[in-house]
């Protein structure tokens, strides 16, 4: 998991998700030290991710499904887990993610298109990789949650790939490289496609 402390995130000036005067997310444990919260979050979501690996959440590969994954990952630590962010924008470096008011209508269009493509089933490997890269990039651009988008997206993408007969072995990729490929995908899919070429394999069994 890439450390968000090393990336240049920017949020609304009156960000309602943090304790006043800090960059610490409001959490169920009342932790107000950034590093303490970061360590607690890593431990909790690590366990939750392993559980989701063993017992995936059933869903229709739509925004509701994505929200359920986020809630399962972060629900123990954040009261707002699974909720669509309410404020205007999030940016990382030069990347500006979907404005809050456009998340719902854009997600409806995006996931309708995914359904029309039969959830990427019955595709040859190269075709699957190309379309998977597109949807990963678009879900990343959507960025529907205040925090935890990348981890949620990866679990969602893994589940989408498996139902289509493929495995995404992102565990072989450094978190920094994966994050950089996500950032680049805002304007160019080539890095993400190259990464998927290295990590996609037929699902065994």
pLDDT top residue among 167 and 179: 167
Percent of the chain's residues with pLDDT above 90 = 75
CATH 1.10.3290.10 fits domain 4-202: yes
Q: Is the pTM of this model over 0.75?
A: yes
Domain ranges of the chain: 4-202
How do residues 5-58 score in pLDDT, each as one tens digit?
Answer: 445 556 666 788 999 989 899 999 999 999 999 999 999 999 999 999 999 999
The predicted pLDDT at position 2 comes to 47
- Any alpha helices (H) in the chain, and if so which ranges? 34-54, 63-74, 103-116, 125-142, 149-163, 175-184, 190-199
CA distances to 82, 124, 144, 192 from 147, in Å: 10, 34, 9, 22
């Amino acid at each position: 998991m890439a450390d968000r402390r090393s990336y240049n995130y920017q949020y609304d000036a009156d960000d309602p998700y943090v304790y006043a005067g800090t960059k610490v997310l409001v959490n169920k444990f009342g932790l107000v030290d950034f590093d303490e919260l970061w360590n607690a979050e890593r431990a909790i979501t690590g366990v939750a991710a392993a559980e989701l690996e063993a017992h995936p959440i059933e869903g229709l590969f739509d925004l509701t499904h994505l929200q359920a994954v986020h809630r399962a990952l972060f629900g123990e630590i954040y009261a707002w887990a699974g909720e669509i962010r309410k404020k205007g924008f999030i940016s990382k470096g030069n990347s500006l993610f979907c404005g809050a008011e456009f998340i719902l209508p854009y997600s409806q269009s995006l996931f309708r298109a995914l359904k029309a493509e039969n959830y990427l089933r019955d595709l040859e490997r190269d075709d699957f990789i190309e379309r998977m890269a597109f949807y990963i990039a678009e879900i990343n651009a959507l960025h529907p949650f205040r925090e935890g988008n990348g981890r949620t997206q990866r679990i969602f993408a893994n589940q989408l790939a498996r139902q289509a007969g493929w495995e995404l072995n992102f565990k072989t990729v450094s978190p920094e490289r994966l994050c950089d490929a996500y950032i680049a995908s805002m304007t160019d899919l080539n890095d993400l496609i190259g990464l998927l070429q290295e990590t996609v394999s037929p699902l065994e069994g």
